[in-house]
Structure 1
Amino acid sequence: MQQAQEAREQAAQEVRRSRTHSRRKNDQKFFLFVFVTIILGIAAAALLSVFFPSGAKKADDGKAEPVSAQAQTYTPSTVTWTAAGDIVFHLPFLESGVYLNSSDGTYDYTSIFDHCRPLLESADFSTVTMETSLAGEEAGYSGYPMFKAPDALADALAADGFDMVNLASNHVYDGLDEGLARTMEVLSQKNLQYMGTRPDKDHKKYNVVDVNGIKVGVLSYVYETTAGSGSKSINGIALSDAVAPLINSFDPSNPDVFYSEVEASLAAMKEEGVQYTIAYMHWGTEYQTQQSQEQTDMAQRLCDMGIDTLIGSHPHVIQPVDVLTSSDGEHQMLCCYAIGNFLSNQRSEYMQAEMPTGETEDSYLLTLTLSSDKKGKVTLTDAAFTPMWTYRYETDAGAAFAVLPVNDTSSLEETTGLSGIKAEADESAARTQAIIGEGVEKVKAALPLKSAI
């Protein structure tokens, strides 16, 4: 009996030792499994970070953002963007011996901008609206009503600090199909970008300009004078089927097509990483220093769509400045309804019927200061409105012109060498202040303005 009992106890001990050994082996397997799982998890995360670096994160509202919306790291930057008004190329610019070399028939217009060149060159990027075509000498040069300028105008713009030329004006088609194509070619040859037109249908209807690392998206449109038949026309001239799609234009009586194009362009710009948007609009009623209801309505709609700054042209006079707020209250837009004639022969003595009080001599340079942060968000941190005056005077060789800044006229005669101009310069500055002064104060109070994108 005792031997049997000892045998049973020995067998029980063997079972316990076996179970303990088994548990130890299982524990070792478990810890090994956990260790391997952790290692594999770390390796998988590393691979994912290589192939899918942006991942996905939660937006402020708790919803997962798409990979394309993931925040990136940007280098903070600042850009100054300057816009000048309209160049209306009247006949005296062709006939004056000041600009025409009679011995060889060449032209030189660079001196016209001598006194505003420092302002243009100091900006990171400068634009101007050109109300003429560069149709070439064979097509013939002409002033109003069909503007055709020498290529020397493009030379002067490039030499005097401009980077981009706005072609979307009511005189964009003055040189017809060949003239439009040649204008774009000449500007490209002079290293001048252009907006509002495109060389073919494959090109975009908008521009993306990278300035100091900030991507600015630009739209430019001109109003149509489309006939009741539906044929698209500019300034009463029917566009050919080949050219019609190449000019950015809108029908004021049917703006929905225009709004759809803008929406599509804004969406495409966003995909390209655009951080700030500017719309140039050639619109309004000539010689009216107040915007029309049509301009007001369209500006509000563009603000609602997310345009950050609107710059208007065409009326040949300055119109008010404002800060518009989108209908949902989420966005503000700087709106300059019209910035005036940068260069023209529309002197008050020649404008007795239309505008005898001198406003056609005035314009201003709009300079936007754009600043970006580490997240790429762009803010309008400053806006400068420098009043400009086009002065005409007579020389032995003929009429001469000078585009002058008149924000400080105390030393203007001394610095320009033009005597007896201070009183007129002061009058020009006062006219500009009367139109935009209140709006400028509103802009200053509203700054900074964040971009919609």
Structure 2
Amino acid sequence: MDDEPAKRVLPVLARALAVSFVPAVLALGLAWLPTMAVLPALLPGGLAGGLVGPPRVAGPADSITIAAAGDLLVHPELTAQAAADAGRPDAYDFTKVLAGVAPRIRAADLGICHMETPLAERGGPFTGYPIFSVPPELADAAADAGFDTCSTASNHSLDTGMAGIARTLDNLDRVGIRHTGTARSAVEAAKPTILAVRGVKVAQLSYTFSFNGLSREPGKEWSANLLSTEAVLAGTRQARSAGAEIVVVSLHWGTEYQNEADEGQLGIARELLASPDIDLIVGHHVHVVQPFEKIGDKWVAYGLGNLTTRFPDGSPENTQDAVVAEFTFARVGPGRWKATSASAVPTFMQYQPAARVVDLPAALRSSPASEREDWGRIHRRIVGYLDLLGARQAGLRIDGQS
């Protein structure tokens, strides 16, 4: 019982000290703050760098890079390759197919893909032309390769109906890839796809010229975007109103297996790029490489070819050729951006000994001399297609071209 008084007195003393002593310490600390704020400027660089200060808040970037690749097209032969690469029952691995081009996509601030065909249920059934339904593991490989957003409006969007649209978008959501062009609901369709890219708001929109004779369900016309200049311009105005600073439009258009841009593409490109709301057009569908063109101070890549494919017929139409388009956008004023550089990376879908995307410039630099001749021939062919409308003179750089 002798220590009971102490137990009662000590808390009282502690409170007294807190009331008198702690404020004094705080006041002293506050008095030192101005000195601490300027101290780093008075110290040598090495010492100042070791001080812990408030975090620096970085503003939006003044330039960003965008990489857009060709169609992700999967025939049964490519599904068989993915099964072989997975090496276990009922599994499909497309990462090895895309590994050759993945460093290019990952290096960009924004990677854009085009999902040509609907994704199936895990385990299938999987089908090819004319009604496609392909392994959902394709989405996993696209994410692994570095793609951030994917256009989904194509002439195969309706191949498996609303269920196929939902599966495709559900799988892209699952792997963290944004999407545009098809929708699961009217609410989703009405919301522009806008990504924050190093603090810069970039919108992607997607439209297709056809659904191969299939029709959208009555009352669900919002499920897939049909191409018209009016629809595109309305969509891009909405994206701008929602805060987009750069607007990229992905178009599924053109004449299949034709390397020249057709009259419809040429006319639509000029009409759309005359709008201040559109900064870049990238094209898909024709399964071969088409030219780039600079219209005013904006670029259009009419056709990027097939990033992935495995036709069973040997591809006499150069359907193994493709290109990764790379654009640098720089800030030229408040809310105003301009593509200050454009470059192209020719790629090739090699079939044997295994289906693999080949980065042609990298292959030219690293392959044995016995292989470089073939890679060089394919590279020169693609360069010729890219330059059909004078893109090189307008400033297009083509990797691997001296």
Normalised-by-shorter TM-score class: 0.7 to 0.9
Preserved CA contact (<8 Å) 1:334 1:443: no
State the Cα distance separating 1:445 from its structure 2 match: 7.8
Residues 239, 269 of structure 1: CA spacing in aligned structure 2 closer, same or farther, 3 A cutoff?
closer
User: What is residue 115 of structure 1 aligned with on the other side?
Assistant: 100
User: What is residue 218 of structure 2 aligned with on the other side?
Assistant: 241
**1:252-302: CA deviations, max 9, x gaps?**
xxxxxx333333223222222222221111001101011111111111110
Question: Do residues 323 (structure 1) and 318 (structure 2) align?
Answer: no
**1:9-38: CA deviations, max 9, x gaps?**
xxxxxxxxxxxxxxxxxxxxxxxxxxxxxx
Residues 303, 108 of structure 1: CA spacing in aligned structure 2 closer, same or farther, 3 A cutoff?
same
User: What is residue 285 of structure 2 aligned with on the other side?
Assistant: 314
State the TM-score, normalizing by the size of structure 2.
Answer: 0.78
Separation in 1, partners of 2:332, 2:263 = 37
**1:308-333: CA deviations, max 9, x gaps?**
211111110111111113xxxxxx32
User: What is residue 298 of structure 2 aligned with on the other side?
Assistant: 333
Separation in 1, partners of 2:375, 2:204 = 33
Which residue identity lines up with residue 350 of structure 1 in the other structure? G
State the TM-score, normalizing by the size of structure 1.
Answer: 0.69
- Alignment RMSD (CA, Å): 2.4
Preserved CA contact (<8 Å) 1:86 1:313: yes
In the TM superposition, 1:299-310 aligns within 5 A as 299-306=269-276, 307-310=278-281
Residues 445, 383 of structure 1: CA spacing in aligned structure 2 closer, same or farther, 3 A cutoff?
closer
**1:103-141: CA deviations, max 9, x gaps?**
531111111122211111111110111211112147511
Question: Do residues 443 (structure 1) and 402 (structure 2) align?
Answer: no
Preserved CA contact (<8 Å) 1:215 1:275: yes
- The equivalent position to 2:315 in structure 1, one of 344, 348, 351, is 351
Question: Do residues 98 (structure 1) and 84 (structure 2) align?
Answer: yes
- The equivalent position to 2:113 in structure 1, one of 107, 125, 128, is 128
Residues 108, 242 of structure 1: CA spacing in aligned structure 2 closer, same or farther, 3 A cutoff?
farther
Which residue identity lines up with residue 247 of structure 1 in the other structure? A
In the TM superposition, 1:265-284 aligns within 5 A as 265-284=235-254
**1:196-240: CA deviations, max 9, x gaps?**
11221112263212211222222210012xxxxxxxxx1122222
State the Cα distance separating 1:373 from its structure 2 match: 5.0
User: What is residue 37 of structure 2 aligned with on the other side?
Assistant: none
User: What is residue 143 of structure 1 aligned with on the other side?
Assistant: 128
Separation in 2, partners of 1:142, 1:88 = 12
- The equivalent position to 2:339 in structure 1, one of 367, 373, 380, is 380
Preserved CA contact (<8 Å) 1:361 1:428: no
Preserved CA contact (<8 Å) 1:409 1:426: no
Preserved CA contact (<8 Å) 2:162 2:223: no
2:133 aligned counterpart, secondary structure: coil
Question: Do residues 171 (structure 1) and 142 (structure 2) align?
Answer: no
Question: Do residues 263 (structure 1) and 233 (structure 2) align?
Answer: yes
User: What is residue 191 of structure 1 aligned with on the other side?
Assistant: 176
User: What is residue 38 of structure 2 aligned with on the other side?
Assistant: none
User: What is residue 380 of structure 2 aligned with on the other side?
Assistant: 430
2:243 aligned counterpart, secondary structure: coil
Question: Do residues 217 (structure 1) and 187 (structure 2) align?
Answer: no
Q: Which has the larger radius of gyration?
A: 1
Separation in 2, partners of 1:237, 1:267 = 28
Residues 267, 410 of structure 1: CA spacing in aligned structure 2 closer, same or farther, 3 A cutoff?
closer
State the Cα distance separating 1:100 from its structure 2 match: 4.8
Separation in 2, partners of 1:135, 1:238 = 20
State the Cα distance separating 1:408 from its structure 2 match: 4.6
User: What is residue 25 of structure 2 aligned with on the other side?
Assistant: none
Residues 274, 283 of structure 1: CA spacing in aligned structure 2 closer, same or farther, 3 A cutoff?
same
State the Cα distance separating 1:76 from its structure 2 match: 4.7
* Structure 1 moving runs of 4+ over 6 Å: none
State the Cα distance separating 1:374 from its structure 2 match: 6.2
Separation in 2, partners of 1:323, 1:98 = 42
2:204 aligned counterpart, secondary structure: strand
Residues 437, 409 of structure 1: CA spacing in aligned structure 2 closer, same or farther, 3 A cutoff?
farther
Separation in 2, partners of 1:75, 1:218 = 19
State the Cα distance separating 1:428 from its structure 2 match: 1.6
Separation in 2, partners of 1:405, 1:285 = 26
Q: Which runs of 5+ in 1 are unaligned?
A: 1-73, 225-233, 251-257, 326-331, 395-399, 447-453
**1:125-161: CA deviations, max 9, x gaps?**
1011121111214751112222211121111111111
**1:412-451: CA deviations, max 9, x gaps?**
336xxxx9543332122111111113633233189xxxxx
Which residue identity lines up with residue 218 of structure 2 in the other structure? D
State the Cα distance separating 1:401 from its structure 2 match: 1.2
2:264 aligned counterpart, secondary structure: helix
Separation in 2, partners of 1:215, 1:260 = 23
* Count of residue pairs brought into register by the alignment: 336
Residues 139, 152 of structure 1: CA spacing in aligned structure 2 closer, same or farther, 3 A cutoff?
closer
